[in-house]
């Protein structure tokens, strides 16, 4: 996204390409951000359309795109699943999802939306395409044979390879874009096998490996703040930063995703996926340009300098009561919490600990990246530690915060921590996009800059390998807490900033 400040110049072409979707209309009275709609007729196949992700994120994102008039005139969304839903049943399902998670269209918008929803049941594999080929045929009759085909795999990762092979076997791969949810693989070996399968059916340009944390407004501000502001850019180095925290505690449990979650756990669900990608955004070297390829390359390159995780520097936890959740194995050892210390072996970050933490059923929900600056030795004597912090909230529309030490006004010289906050939604004419809206829009337009590449993911799995080979036993922790006490010790002598 490109924001043009009052009186500011329009962004260069490279920046416009990188952020692609927002074209600023600058008038003196009002500057409105308008987004380029996708023009090409589209058939969007949503595998896993009755699942949690589809209900909470993908279907609401589609409705938002429709309300914002960002979809082409001609489009159809086909839900796919193993069940036998009629088109009507599926429309009811989508309606319920929107009632719960929004947005809430008026009658007219809903009528226009629902008539474009179809369902193709009876599963989809290479031996049996279920109803999908017939329903795609039905969709093409409506929107034309030249419609682009987008397949979105909102299904558990174990099914990615089978669906990919089936796309190839049934002639649905050619010219299509295929979106893979995370995690792309569940181990170094399964990543390699999956990648080989995918590349045997698709060209890399057709592949969109989504990590929705890269689509969050504040995540994109990580590099904007740094590369566009000398104040921050100059500090972005081990000489000034003493530690970094990437902290995503959740009050949310596993909802009704037991089958997926019990086979996945926090390390795969969050740590080696979202938290690593955010760490790469924080630590990448300046890209050669803001073009899609350069940005992607810079993000992926730094992951190669992540030091393989030492299991002794990782704490796993499991909330009490997890094993009683319906669908969870009675003796499950799945991690619902992980805290890890990560090191980055390059000249910019050597010796700076990166503290990463996430977990289910914790005390609060927050998504925060904090760069803690070193404490200066100056005329003040001893200053409090962790009191000068550049921090980003990744939740919602995002926020940039700076904690600094200031003299409290008054006769005495009291130096106290104070916070300056910049909620991004309050920027003039801000038009924040939820991550799934933005990323699906990018997919429709063919912009891959915010999607991951196999070289970066291959490095991710190398970093994860020692932990996967030698998992510490998950420690129990009470629901509503901050996880196992060992996680506090992992941060020592520092403290976790969230929850202080």
Ligand X SMILES: O=C1O[C@H](COP(=O)(O)O)[C@@H](O)[C@H](O)[C@H]1O
Nearest approach, Cβ of 256 to ligand X (angstroms)?
12
Q: What does the alpha-carbon distance between residue 482 and residue 251 come to, in Å, rounded to a whole number?
A: 10
Nearest approach, Cβ of 337 to ligand X (angstroms)?
12
Strand partners, 338: 316, 358
Q: List binders of ligand X among 352-411 (CB under 6 A).
A: none
Residue 90 vs 306, nearer CB to ligand NDP: 90
Site string for ligand NDP, 140-179 (x = CB under 6 A): --------------xxxx-x--------------------
Closest CA to 72 of 45, 49, 44, 99: 44
φ/ψ of residue 147, rounded to 5: -60, 140
Closest CA to 227 of 498, 19, 441: 19
Residue 167 vs 270, nearer CB to ligand X: 270
Task: Indicate which of ligand NDP, ligand X, none lies near residue 252 (CB less than 5 to 8 Å, by partner kind).
Answer: ligand X
Binding flag, residue 181, ligand NDP (CB under 6 A)? yes
Binding flag, residue 252, ligand X (CB under 6 A)? yes
Q: Is 273 exposed, middle or buried (0-12, 13-18, 19+ CB in 10 A)?
A: buried
182 belongs to an annotated ligand binding site: yes
Nearest approach, Cβ of 58 to ligand NDP (angstroms)?
9
Nearest approach, Cβ of 269 to ligand X (angstroms)?
5
102 belongs to an annotated ligand binding site: no
274 catalytic? Reply is yes
53 belongs to an annotated ligand binding site: yes
127 belongs to an annotated ligand binding site: no
Q: What does the alpha-carbon distance between residue 140 and residue 42 come to, in Å, rounded to a whole number?
A: 9
Strand partners, 249: 359
51 belongs to an annotated ligand binding site: yes
Residue 131 vs 357, nearer CB to ligand X: 357
String of DSSP letters for 454-476: HHHHHHHHHHHHHHHHSPPPPEE
* Torsion sign over Cα 383, 384, 385, 390: negative
Residue 116 vs 212, nearer CB to ligand X: 212
Q: What does the alpha-carbon distance between residue 342 and residue 466 come to, in Å, rounded to a whole number?
A: 13
3-state secondary structure of 149: strand
Q: How many CA atoms lie within 13 A of 69 on its CB side?
A: 3
Nearest approach, Cβ of 389 to ligand NDP (angstroms)?
28
Q: Which two tokens stand for residue 114?
A: 């629902």
Q: How many CA atoms lie within 13 A of 168 on its CB side?
A: 13
211 belongs to an annotated ligand binding site: no
Q: Which helix (H) or strand (E) holds 300?
A: helix 292-303
Q: How many CA atoms lie within 13 A of 85 on its CB side?
A: 23
Q: What does the alpha-carbon distance between residue 460 and residue 307 come to, in Å, rounded to a whole number?
A: 10
**414-446 burial code (b ≥16 CB/10 A, e <16):** eeeeeeeeeebeeeeeeebbbbbbbbbbbbbbe
Asked whether 391 and 402 are in contact (CB, 8 A), the reply is yes
Binding flag, residue 418, ligand X (CB under 6 A)? no
Q: What does the alpha-carbon distance between residue 372 and residue 386 come to, in Å, rounded to a whole number?
A: 6
Residue 398 vs 454, nearer CB to ligand X: 398
Binding flag, residue 329, ligand X (CB under 6 A)? no
Q: What does the alpha-carbon distance between residue 62 and residue 70 come to, in Å, rounded to a whole number?
A: 9
Q: Please tell me what DSSP assigns to residue 376.
A: P
Binding flag, residue 262, ligand X (CB under 6 A)? no
Strand partners, 228: none
Q: List binders of ligand NDP among 56-95 (CB under 6 A).
A: 56, 81-83
What is the total count of residues that contact ligand NDP (CB under 6 A)? 20
Nearest approach, Cβ of 25 to ligand X (angstroms)?
30
Binding flag, residue 250, ligand X (CB under 6 A)? yes
Site string for ligand NDP, 191-230 (x = CB under 6 A): ---------------------x------------------
Residue of 127, 274, 377, 441 marked active site: 274
Q: Which helix (H) or strand (E) holds 26?
A: strand 22-26
Q: Which two tokens stand for residue 211?
A: 């990590």
Q: By Cβ distance, which residue is nearest to ligand NDP?
A: 51
Site string for ligand NDP, 249-288 (x = CB under 6 A): --------x-xx----------------------------
Among 269, 300, 325, 442, binds ligand X (CB under 6 A): 269
Nearest approach, Cβ of 280 to ligand NDP (angstroms)?
18
285 belongs to an annotated ligand binding site: no
Binding flag, residue 474, ligand NDP (CB under 6 A)? no
Nearest approach, Cβ of 208 to ligand NDP (angstroms)?
13
Q: List binders of ligand X among 201-240 (CB under 6 A).
A: 212
**Residue ranges that bind ligand NDP, judged by CB under 6 A:** 48, 50-53, 56, 81-83, 154-157, 159, 181-182, 212, 257, 259-260
**Residue ranges that bind ligand X, judged by CB under 6 A:** 212, 250, 252, 269
Binding site as annotated, residues for NADP(+): 48-55, 82, 182
Active site residues: 274
Binding site as annotated, residues: 48-55, 82, 182, 212, 216, 250, 269, 360
Binding site as annotated, residues for substrate: 212, 216, 250, 269, 360
């Amino acid at each position: 996204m490109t924001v043009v400040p009052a009186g500011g110049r329009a962004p260069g072409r490279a920046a416009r390409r990188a952020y692609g979707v927002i074209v600023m209309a600058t008038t003196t009275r009002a500057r409105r951000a308008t987004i380029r709609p996708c023009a090409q007729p589209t058939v969007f196949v949503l595998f896993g359309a009755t699942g949690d992700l589809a209900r909470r994120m993908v279907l609401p994102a589609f409705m938002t795109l429709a309300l914002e008039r960002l979809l082409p005139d001609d489009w159809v969304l086909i839900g796919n699943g193993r069940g036998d839903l009629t088109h009507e049943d599926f429309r009811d399902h989508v309606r319920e999802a929107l009632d719960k998670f929004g947005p809430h269209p008026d009658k007219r918008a809903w009528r226009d939306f629902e008539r474009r929803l179809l369902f193709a049941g009876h599963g989809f594999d290479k031996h049996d395409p279920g109803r999908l080929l017939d329903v795609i045929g039905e969709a093409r009759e409506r929107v034309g044979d030249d419609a682009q085909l987008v397949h979105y795999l909102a299904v558990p990762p174990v099914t990615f390879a089978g669906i990919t092979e089936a796309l190839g076997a049934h002639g649905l791969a050619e010219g299509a874009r295929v979106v893979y949810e995370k995690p792309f693989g569940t181990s170094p070996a399964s990543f390699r096998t999956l990648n080989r399968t995918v590349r045997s059916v698709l060209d890399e340009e057709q592949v969109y490996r989504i990590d929705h944390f890269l689509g969050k407004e504040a995540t994109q501000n990580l590099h904007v703040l740094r590369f566009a502001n000398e104040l921050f850019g100059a500090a972005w180095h081990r000489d000034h930063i003493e530690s970094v925290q990437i902290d995503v505690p959740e009050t949310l449990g596993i909802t009704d995703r037991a089958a997926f979650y019990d086979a996945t756990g926090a390390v795969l669900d969050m740590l080696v996926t979202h938290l690593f990608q955010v760490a790469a955004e924080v630590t990448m070297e300046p890209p050669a340009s803001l073009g899609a390829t350069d940005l992607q390359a810079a993000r992926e390159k730094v992951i190669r300098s992540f030091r393989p995780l030492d299991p002794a520097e990782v704490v796993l936890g499991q909330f009490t009561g997890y094993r009683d959740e319906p669908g969870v194995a009675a003796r499950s050892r799945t991690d619902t919490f992980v805290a890890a210390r990560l090191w980055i072996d390059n000249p910019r970050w050597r010796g700076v600990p990166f503290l990463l933490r996430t977990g289910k059923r914790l005390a609060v929900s927050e998504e925060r990246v904090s760069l803690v600056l070193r404490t200066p030795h100056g005329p003040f004597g001893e200053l409090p530690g962790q009191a000068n912090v550049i921090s980003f909230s990744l939740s919602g529309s995002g926020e940039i915060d700076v904690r600094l030490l200031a003299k409290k006004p008054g006769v005495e010289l009291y130096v106290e921590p104070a916070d300056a906050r910049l909620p991004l939604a309050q920027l003039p004419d801000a038009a924040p996009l939820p991550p799934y809206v933005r990323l699906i829009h990018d997919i429709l337009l063919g912009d891959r800059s915010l999607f991951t590449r196999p070289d970066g993911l291959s490095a991710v799995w190398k970093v994860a390998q020692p932990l996967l080979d030698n998992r510490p036993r998950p420690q129990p922790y009470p629901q509503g807490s901050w996880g196992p006490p060992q996680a506090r010790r992992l941060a020592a002598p520092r403290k976790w900033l969230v929850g202080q």
